[in-house]
Every structure is written in structure tokens, then in C-alpha cells.
């Protein structure tokens, strides 16, 4: 039995998208591919509100997250950490042989503009990494405020992960001054995993040119050279790019404003359920994520038991990530989910809890 996914990625995939993935294959050096690539790129620019280069990488998000630090850190990187994915990014930065410092907020807390300002004011850093929406803790950091601080540091290249937020709310990449905006597609974007998207500003590309040891697979300069021909350095995941073409059409057919509003409604529904049932939020209320709700298991519910019961009736439920597994549970409200899907899940959780 297929379990309907309510975990924070991968998420349910629309049947039209699965069908688009079955499009007959083309060669990536054929004109048909360049047309597809160009079409997708132009739509992504519209979605991300950017005139910067937009690249398609055949990897999960961490491929590009690693690539970005290899390309963009010349001197020293400030990694802002407030959960499992951002903690890992610091580890990855060091594993790439880069000088880096972690600026940590407790799990459940956001990265604030003040933290970023203090760190960058030292003048030690020429790049910074930040995760907009920490999927492990359900915390959304205040990106516009952070961006306002970043504007004070023109020598710092900003690398921002929007894996679990891109398309769920407005993230105007150019207006925010993001030099490299990265997202994988299996979360907020609702495509099967294996494709990542990233932007590179002129500043980012100029930096990359000066950095040694960029490697090959994620070399931003290789990406830029190939982008001039609407192509990629190595063979891309063409089936997924067909899927992305289809998904972008679906996103614009729904309407960006409508898509953002739907996410707000879904978040409100789930948050109200969490409060009504007497659970607490893991993050502070000001920083609750728009795409998933991470609840504190204040009632001592047997979450592993609940997960098993939900699996038996066809729902995939998440009982926390990393060091807060069992203490928290997460309900995703991202991608193509509708309010009715979440109502169905919450009713089922109520039913199971009543029997436990
Ligand atoms: C899932 C996730 C990642 C890691 O993505 P992979 O696709 O597993 O490489 C990175 N950042 C955030 C915010 C995520 O939610």
C-alpha cells in the first residue's frame, strides 16, 4: 500500500508530474534539450524574482550546498546553525577544507539579524551560509531582516538554502541580495528527489573565478559556460527536468499569490490543531515555519506507536528528526498538499490517538 506522505520531504507527487517524467528521452546535446532547459530556466527566474544565472544540478540539495562553499569561500565562512541541516552544512564546509566558524542558536531558535551582524562585523568572513527554513526544527528565520544586514557587507557572499521554503512564500532573490540561493526539489517544490536549483549573482561568479579547488562536478564557472548554451556541464536528470517544466506550469496556473495563500491556510490549520490538542510548538511562535509544524510532545504521546498505526492505515508520519526524535513530531504542509489532505490526516491522527 502506498503511504500518503505527510513527512517534510519527499512529499506526494502529482500524477501529471509522474506522467511528465515518462516523456520519451532526448539527448542533452540535442536542440530539444536546450529548448527545455531555457524554458525551465526562464520560469524559475520568474518564480525566484531574479535576473541572476539560474542553474540546474543533478544532485540532491547537499551536492550544491557543498559546491557553493567550494566555489564561494576564499577566506573564511560564517555558518549560521540552528538545526540538523545547518549544523551539517558547517561540517560539510570544514570537510571541504575551508576555514569556517559556526554561529549557533539553540535548536528551535531562529538565526537573527543581530547574530549575523555581530558575526560579519568582525571582518573575518567573505562568505556566509544560512538555512531559511530549518526543516529539522520547523523554524523559519527572518530572511528580510537578515538580508537588510547583509547589505552592509558587500564583500560577503551570501549562500542561502531555501530547500523547504522556495515557492511556498515570496522569496525575491534579487531584492534580498542573495548571491547564491539553493533548493532541492523534493520538499516545498514537490518533485521527486534528485534535482537541485541554484542561482549565482555576478558577485558570486566573480568570487568563484578567484577560488582554487572548485572541483569539476559543481564548478560554478563550468555551469556558467554551459548555461550560455542552455546546457549543463554533465548529463542532467532530463526526466526530472521535464517534471520541473510541468510543475512550474502548474505553479503559475495556480498563481503565486494563491500558492502562498494556500500555504498560509494550511499552516494555520495545523497550528490550530496542535494548540487545540494541547501540544506545544517546538519553535517560538514568531518563527513558526510556513511549510511544516514541529510540535513538542508535551503530552508524552507514544509517537513511535502512533507512526506505526498511521502507517498501517496509509499515512507516513514523522516522529522528529535527529536529537529531537520522539520529543517532537513534524507535520509537513508544503508542495501540492491541499487543506483537505491535512484535514484528512488530522482526523485520522485523532482517531488513532483515541484508540491508543
Ligand atoms: C532536506 C534538506 C536538506 C538536504 O537535502 P538533501 O536533498 O538530502 O541533500 C538541506 N536543507 C534543508 C533545509 C532541508 O530541508
pLDDT in tens, 191-202: 999 999 999 999
Residue of 60, 88, 185, 291 best suited for mutating to test ligand 1, as the one with most atoms within 8 Å of CB:
60
Distance (Å) of CA 245 to CA 6, 39, 189, 241, 277: 24, 7, 12, 6, 40
- Check if 108 has its Cβ closer than 6 Å to any atom of ligand 1: no
Task: Report, as an integer, the average pLDDT of 34-56.
Answer: 98
pLDDT in tens, 303-317: 999 999 999 999 999
Task: Report, as an integer, the average pLDDT of 74-91.
Answer: 98
Kindly indicate the confidence band of residue 237, based on its pLDDT and cuts at 50, 70 and 90: very high
Helix or strand holding residue 223 (H, E): helix 220-227
Running DSSP on this structure, what letter comes out for residue 11?
-
Which residues neighbour 217 within 8 Å (Cβ) at sequence distance 6 or greater? 59, 63, 67, 233, 234
Q: Which atom of ligand 1 is nearest to the CA of 134?
A: 13
Q: Which atom of ligand 1 is nearest to the CA of 8?
A: 15
Question: Percent of the chain scored above 90 by pLDDT?
Answer: 99
Task: Report, as an integer, the average pLDDT of 285-289.
Answer: 96
Hey, CA dihedral for 214, 215, 216, 218, is it positive or negative?
A: negative
Locate CATH 3.40.640.10 in the chain.
Answer: 24-252
Question: Percent of the chain scored above 70 by pLDDT?
Answer: 100
Give the Cα separation of 318 and 329 in Å (integer): 6
Q: What are the residues facing 157 on neighbouring strands?
A: 127
Residue of 8, 62, 92 best suited for mutating to test ligand 1, as the one with most atoms within 8 Å of CB:
62
- The architecture in CATH of the region 24-252 reads 3-Layer(aba) Sandwich (3.40)
pLDDT at site 3: 98
What mean pLDDT value characterizes the chain? 98
pLDDT at site 65: 98
Task: Report, as an integer, the average pLDDT of 165-190.
Answer: 98
pLDDT in tens, 249-264: 999 999 999 999 999 9
Locate CATH 3.90.1150.10 in the chain.
Answer: 4-10+256-355
* Residue 238 CA neighbour count, 13 Å, CB half: 17
pLDDT at site 165: 98
- Check if 127 has its Cβ closer than 6 Å to any atom of ligand 1: no
The CATH label, of 3.90.1150.10, 3.50.50.60, 2.60.120.560, 3.30.470.20, for the domain at 4-10+256-355 is 3.90.1150.10
Runs of H (alpha helix) within 49-112 = 61-72, 84-95
pLDDT at site 204: 98
Spell 105-121 as b/e; 16+ CB within 10 A means b: bebbbbbbbebbbebbe
pLDDT in tens, 115-154: 999 999 999 999 999 999 999 999 999 999 999 999 999 9
- Cell readout for 173 is 532573490
Spell 148-171 as b/e; 16+ CB within 10 A means b: ebbeebeebbbbbbbbbbbbbbeb
Residue of 93, 163, 181, 218 best suited for mutating to test ligand 1, as the one with most atoms within 8 Å of CB:
163
* Residue 135 CA neighbour count, 13 Å, CB half: 22
Amino acid at each position: 500500500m502506498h503511504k500518503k506522505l505527510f513527512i517534510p520531504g519527499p512529499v506526494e507527487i502529482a500524477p501529471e508530474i509522474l506522467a511528465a517524467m515518462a516523456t520519451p528521452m532526448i539527448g542533452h546535446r540535442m536542440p530539444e534539450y536546450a529548448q527545455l532547459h531555457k524554458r525551465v530556466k526562464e520560469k524559475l527566474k520568474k518564480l525566484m524574482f531574479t535576473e541572476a544565472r539560474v542553474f540546474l544540478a543533478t544532485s540532491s540539495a547537499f551536492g550544491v550546498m557543498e559546491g557553493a562553499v567550494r566555489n564561494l569561500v576564499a577566506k573564511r565562512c560564517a555558518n549560521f546553525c540552528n538545526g540538523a541541516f545547518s549544523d551539517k552544512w558547517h561540517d560539510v564546509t570544514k570537510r571541504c577544507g575551508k576555514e569556517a566558524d559556526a554561529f549557533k542558536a539553540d535548536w528551535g531558535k531562529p538565526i537573527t539579524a543581530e547574530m549575523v551582524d555581530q558575526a560579519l562585523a568582525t571582518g573575518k568572513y567573505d562568505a556566509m551560509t544560512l538555512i531559511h527554513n530549518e526543516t529539522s526544527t520547523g523554524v523559519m528565520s527572518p530572511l528580510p531582516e537578515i538580508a537588510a544586514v547583509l547589505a552592509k557587507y558587500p564583500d560577503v557572499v551570501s549562500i542561502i538554502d531555501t530547500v523547504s521554503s522556495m515557492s511556498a512564500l515570496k522569496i525575491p532573490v534579487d531584492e534580498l541580495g542573495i548571491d547564491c540561493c539553493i533548493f532541492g526539489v523534493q520538499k516545498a517544490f514537490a518533485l521527486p528527489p534528485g534535482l537541485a536549483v541554484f542561482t549565482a549573482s555576478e558577485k558570486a561568479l566573480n568570487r568563484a573565478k578567484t577560488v582554487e579547488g572548485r572541483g569539476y562536478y559543481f564548478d560554478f564557472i563550468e555551469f556558467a559556460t554551459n548555461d550560455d548554451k542552455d546546457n549543463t556541464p554533465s548529463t542532467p536528470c532530463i526526466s526530472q527536468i521535464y517534471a520541473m517544466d510541468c510543475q512550474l506550469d502548474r505553479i503559475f496556473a495556480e498563481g503565486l499569490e494563491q500558492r502562498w495563500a494556500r500555504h498560509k491556510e494550511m499552516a494555520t490549520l495545523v497550528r490550530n490543531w496542535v494548540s487545540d490538542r494541547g501540544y506545544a510548538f517546538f519553535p517560538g511562535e514568531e518563527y513558526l515555519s510556513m511549510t511544516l509544524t514541529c510540535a513538542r510532545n508535551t503530552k508524552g504521546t507514544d509517537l513511535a506507536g502512533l507512526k506505526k498505526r498511521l502507517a498501517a492505515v496509509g499515512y507516513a508520519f514523522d516522529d522528529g528528526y535527529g536529537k529531537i526524535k520522539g520529543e517532537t513530531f513534524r507535520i509537513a504542509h508544503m508542495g501540492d498538499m491541499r487543506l483537505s489532505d491535512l484535514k484528512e490526516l488530522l482526523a485520522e491522527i485523532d482517531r488513532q490517538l483515541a484508540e491508543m
